[in-house]
């Protein structure tokens, strides 16, 4: 299908609710006002917060004004970002973007005294202040800020640490990134020698040629093995650095700092990890089935993303729009109406353009505005899911708009609920309409493989992280020890369903998250399972579920994830909640797939 016939080329967002154009005189005026107001606010409150010389009403006044300033800064930043998104080379947008980054950093420097002073305030005084009714809308946020500050050192010590990081942690991370991105691979594809980067080699896992897949992955991991002296040293140093940081900040366990950010406690994260580990039989069942689909006795790890042959279907913009709207309508009219508004009011940019940013996103929700959705629609099945995904974020934004600004944006573990839920709606809708069993088989496989990548696989990384961080206080880990720990986790995930070539033991070395953002990966598993479990709840409860679901989205980040899930009567400490997600995978995806495969001629 030609791009000209997709219908997405005329889907252009209307940003006039932000500014009229890059030369809109309001831009300069607003920038000036934001700087002036932030300075005035700081002058009025600096020194008073730490000393506790502030009444609940005054603190509220501060919060309201701070929100107003950060929203105005956010609008300016958003306009620059969105203008740049559709034309990365536009000089005007680039220069506005630079000005906005400078503005953002100036404003945050002007107001940084507030969280610091809040942390210094006397405990009893803070407790009395924050309990006041005047601060109802801000209590959760203030408690969160205060809790974080408890693990901060003095201003001077923080400054020293962050300076030392430049030649310490950050320098080590840069070595890892620069080394691994310099890797080049020479692979022979269809008789032709090709020089590839890591991303290109990894994409060969989707080749139909099994020998090529195996060869490519052997070479890929071989490069990491050759460089293991540096990579292992880097990894160990980062583990040690993290351990020292935890000690300095009085954080008891390695994932403590991350849990603080995510507002989750270790008990919940551990329950999630254990239940995931207990359900790996799903992985084994699926790859045994996939071996049959690929006419192979047993797959190797290089085959797990091999394509199931099917003629991929193409969609026009209108097809996709109809599918997504119908799928949301099938769930609920209210959800449909919220999504419809994005199409009707031009809050979406669907074009593919030479200088447009790749991928897709939905902007955050600023007071007095609405989210915008960016897509690069090419007509592939994946694009229909992406449309449903980003509009799910959009719906989340619209619903949480009733919260005050600091409570709007969903916290990381719940940030993907509405988006992935939207994808589920579309999947079910499509499965209900597909006639061709081969097409259905391909859809089930792709759903399972992407769900595995966000659940079992991330949990494997999480377990590896937990074990290695646990050992570093005792000793440096050798490459062999890291390999053998990783090997055990591979076996935990795949069991006997696939052959594990020895070079896969080095796979931990490619997981950038573990080098750059310790303990980030469990949030992916958390988010995906919350959605599967909620979806299962929806199937069980029907109408009764809907108001609860809206309530979850409307709450934004006004409560902790556990409290928000509590609104739906869900206790994330309870294993049975997480189990629901895996039961869903079994009964709704694996079993129907098994049936289709057994009926295959």
> Could you give the CA distance from residue 284 to residue 541 in angstroms, rounded to a whole number?
30
User: Beta-carbon neighbour count of residue 499 at 10 Å?
Assistant: 15
Count the residues of the shown chain that bind Zn ion, applying the rule CB under 5 A: 1
Least gap, CB of 393 to Zn ion (angstroms)? 6
Least gap, CB of 518 to Zn ion (angstroms)? 22
Least gap, CB of 416 to Zn ion (angstroms)? 5
Contact by Cβ (8 Å): 402, 554: yes
Contact by Cβ (8 Å): 178, 170: no
Of 369 and 388, CB closest to Zn ion:
388
Burial of 292 (0-12, 13-18, 19+ CB in 10 A): middle
Query: H/E element holding 333?
Result: helix 333-344
> Could you give the CA distance from residue 382 to residue 76 in angstroms, rounded to a whole number?
32
Nearest to 16 by CA among 346, 373, 338: 346
Of 419 and 468, CB closest to Zn ion:
419
- Which H, E and C letters describe 63-79, residue by residue? HHHHHHHHHHHHHHHHH
Q: At what angle do helices 381-400 and 545-554 cross, to 10 degrees?
A: 70
Contact by Cβ (8 Å): 365, 418: no
Nearest to 15 by CA among 69, 83, 70: 83
Residue nearest to Zn ion (CB): 419
What x/- string results for residues 218 through 257 when contact with Zn ion is judged by CB under 5 A? ----------------------------------------
Of 303 and 416, CB closest to Zn ion:
416
Burial of 210 (0-12, 13-18, 19+ CB in 10 A): middle
Of 73 and 525, CB closest to Zn ion:
525
Of 287 and 526, CB closest to Zn ion:
526
Contact by Cβ (8 Å): 376, 312: no
Least gap, CB of 134 to Zn ion (angstroms)? 35
Of 419 and 446, CB closest to Zn ion:
419
Of 419 and 525, CB closest to Zn ion:
419
Interacting residues of 491 by C-beta distance below 8 A, sequence separation 6+ = 500
Least gap, CB of 392 to Zn ion (angstroms)? 8
Of 78 and 416, CB closest to Zn ion:
416
Identify the sign of the CA torsion 462, 468, 472, 477: negative
Half-sphere CA count of 544, side-chain side, radius 13 A: 7
Contact by Cβ (8 Å): 317, 350: yes
Residue 454 sits in the site that holds Zn ion (CB under 5 A) = no
Of 472 and 552, CB closest to Zn ion:
552
What are φ and ψ of residue 195, in 5° steps? Answer: -95, 125
In the region spanning residues 396 to 435, those forming contacts with Zn ion, defined by CB under 5 A, are 419
Identify the sign of the CA torsion 403, 408, 412, 417: positive
Of 45 and 421, CB closest to Zn ion:
421
Of 119 and 422, CB closest to Zn ion:
422
Least gap, CB of 312 to Zn ion (angstroms)? 23
Instruction: Using the CB atoms, write b or e for 535-565: b if 16+ within 10 Å.
Output: bbbbeeeeeebeebbbebbbbbbbbbbbebb
Of 419 and 557, CB closest to Zn ion:
419
Least gap, CB of 271 to Zn ion (angstroms)? 24
Least gap, CB of 380 to Zn ion (angstroms)? 18
> Could you give the CA distance from residue 475 to residue 239 in angstroms, rounded to a whole number?
11
Least gap, CB of 385 to Zn ion (angstroms)? 11
Least gap, CB of 369 to Zn ion (angstroms)? 19
Residue 363 sits in the site that holds Zn ion (CB under 5 A) = no
Which spans of this chain sit near Zn ion (rule: CB under 5 A)? 419
């Amino acid at each position: 299908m030609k791009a000209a016939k997709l219908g997405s080329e005329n889907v252009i967002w209307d940003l006039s609710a932000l500014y009229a154009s890059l030369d809109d005189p309001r831009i300069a005026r607003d920038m000036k006002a934001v700087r002036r107001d932030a300075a005035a606010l700081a002058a009025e409150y600096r020194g008073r917060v730490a000393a506790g010389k502030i009444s609940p009403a005054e603190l509220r006044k501060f919060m309201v004004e701070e929100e107003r300033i950060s929203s105005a800064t956010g609008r300016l930043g958003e306009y620059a970002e969105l203008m740049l998104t559709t034309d990365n080379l536009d000089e005007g947008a680039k220069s506005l973007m630079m000005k906005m980054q400078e503005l953002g950093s100036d404003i945050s420097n002007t107001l940084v005294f507030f969280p610091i002073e809040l942390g210094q305030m006397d405990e009893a005084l803070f407790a009395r202040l924050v309990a006041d009714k005047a601060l109802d809308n801000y209590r959760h946020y203030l408690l969160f800020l205060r809790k974080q500050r408890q693990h901060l050192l003095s201003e001077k010590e923080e400054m020293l640490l962050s300076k030392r990081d430049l030649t310490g942690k950050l320098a080590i991370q840069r070595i890892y990134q620069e080394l691994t991105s310099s890797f080049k691979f020479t692979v022979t594809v269809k008789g032709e020698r090709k020089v590839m980067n890591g991303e290109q080699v990894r994409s060969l896992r989707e080749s139909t040629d099994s020998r090529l897949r195996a060869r490519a992955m052997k070479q890929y991991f071989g490069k990491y093995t050759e460089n293991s002296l540096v990579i292992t040293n880097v990894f160990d140093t980062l583990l040690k650095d993290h351990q020292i940081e935890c000690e300095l900040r009085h954080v008891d366990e390695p994932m403590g700092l991350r849990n603080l950010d995510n507002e989750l406690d270790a008990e919940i994260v551990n329950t999630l990890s254990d239940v995931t580990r207990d359900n790996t039989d799903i992985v084994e069942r699926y790859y045994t089935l996939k071996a049959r689909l690929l006419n192979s006795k047993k797959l190797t790890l290089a085959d797990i993303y091999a394509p199931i042959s099917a003629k991929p279907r193409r969609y026009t913009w209108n097809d996709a729009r109809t599918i997504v709207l119908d799928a949301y309508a099938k769930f609920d009219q209210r959800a449909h109406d919220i999504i419809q508004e994005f199409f009707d009011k031009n809050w979406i940019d669907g074009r593919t353009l030479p200088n447009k940013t790749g991928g897709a996103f939905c902007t955050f929700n600023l007071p007095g505005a609405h989210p915008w959705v960016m897509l690069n629609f090419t007509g592939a099945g994946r694009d229909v899911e992406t449309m449903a995904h980003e509009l799910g974020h959009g719906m989340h934004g619209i619903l949480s708009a009733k919260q005050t600004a600091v409570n709007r944006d969903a916290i990381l573990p719940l940030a993907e609920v509405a988006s992935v839920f939207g994808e589920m709606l579309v999947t079910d809708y499509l499965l209900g309409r597909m006639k061709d069993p081969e097409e259905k088989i391909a859809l089930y496989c792709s759903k399972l493989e992407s769900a595995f990548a966000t659940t079992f696989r991330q949990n494997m990384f999480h377990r590896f992280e937990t074990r290695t961080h646990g050992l570093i206080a005792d000793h440096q880990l050798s490459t062999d020890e890291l390999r053998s720990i990783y090997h055990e986790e591979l076996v935990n995930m795949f069991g006997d369903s696939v052959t594990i070539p020895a070079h896969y033991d080095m796979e931990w070395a490619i997981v950038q998250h573990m080098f750059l953002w310790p303990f980030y990966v469990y949030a992916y598993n958390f988010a995906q399972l919350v959605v599967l479990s909620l979806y299962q709840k929806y199937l069980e409860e029907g109408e009764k579920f809907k108001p609860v679901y809206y309530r979850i989205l409307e709450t934004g980040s006004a409560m902790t994830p556990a409290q928000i899930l509590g609104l739906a009567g869900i206790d994330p400490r309870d294993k049975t909640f997480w189990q629901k997600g895996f039961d869903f995978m079994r009964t709704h995806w694996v079993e129907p797939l098994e049936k289709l495969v057994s009926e295959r001629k």
